[in-house]
A = this chain, B = another copy of it.
């Protein structure tokens, strides 16, 4: 493989949908929290909308034989400081959660339930509510009591949210999204697909911005 790869149209993606920026995130990913705050405005400045995909990093990590950066000695300390610094760089509040990382399948199932039964916009609102709750107030999204309360406080029907995350329909929906992400070459979060070009990481924002403004570079 040379270093000048052309556009990569990946399985599951629709190359005929140039008006969309695909965005994959995990509710336990600090860089996803940051990117989730800027991705809509960036896309809108270039006439695009965002298509969000809540996934589980545990699934993509397993497929790609990767681990969280905080699971490595030395890199762990740097990463925790970099999460906070990267949030400050964007002017965002940030508090490293006492329990990190956490399993986020219930929060992700709420996302897909909202996405499919209400609207992508409702799911996006939930993504902001839950990521902000975890990364600025330490709300434990893996605690079913805390998660149910958060759903209620975010304007959802709390009992219905609890029923959704226990429902095989939304369990299967999330699993299918994880599988599709892996098939599409996603190995981390946040990830972005712009006109078939994959970008990984909150720190690829300048490259995404140029791509949206000027096309392939």
Contacting residue for A80 out of B1, B81, B85, CB 8 A: B1
Query: Which residues 145-204 of A have a CB within 8 angstroms of B?
Result: 182, 185, 187-188, 198, 200-201, 203-204
18 further interface pairs, Cβ-Cβ under 8 Å (given A5-B84, A64-B73):
A1-B80, A4-B84, A5-B80, A5-B81, A63-B73, A63-B74, A64-B72, A65-B72, A65-B73, A66-B72, A66-B75, A74-B182, A78-B185, A89-B206, A89-B217, A201-B203, A203-B203, A203-B204
A98 to chain B, nearest CB (A): 10
Q: Are A77 and B2 in contact (CB under 8 A)?
A: no
Q: For residue A71, which residue of chain B has the nearest CB?
A: B65
Q: Does A210 contact B (CB under 8 A)?
A: yes
Instruction: Say yes or no: A207-B85 contact (C-beta < 8 A), given A78-B198, A78-B200.
Output: yes
Q: List 20 A-B contacts (CB under 8 A).
A: A1-B77, A1-B96, A2-B95, A3-B81, A3-B87, A4-B84, A5-B80, A64-B74, A64-B75, A65-B72, A74-B187, A75-B188, A78-B185, A78-B187, A78-B198, A85-B217, A86-B207, A89-B217, A203-B203, A206-B206
Q: Does A14 contact B (CB under 8 A)?
A: no
| Whole-angstrom CA separation of A182 from B78 in the bound complex | 13
Q: Are A210 and B66 in contact (CB under 8 A)?
A: no
Instruction: Say yes or no: A185-B1 contact (C-beta < 8 A), given A201-B203, A203-B201.
Output: no
B residues less than 8 Å from A182 (CB atoms): 74
Most buried by B among A72, A85, A94: A85
B residues less than 8 Å from A198 (CB atoms): 78, 81
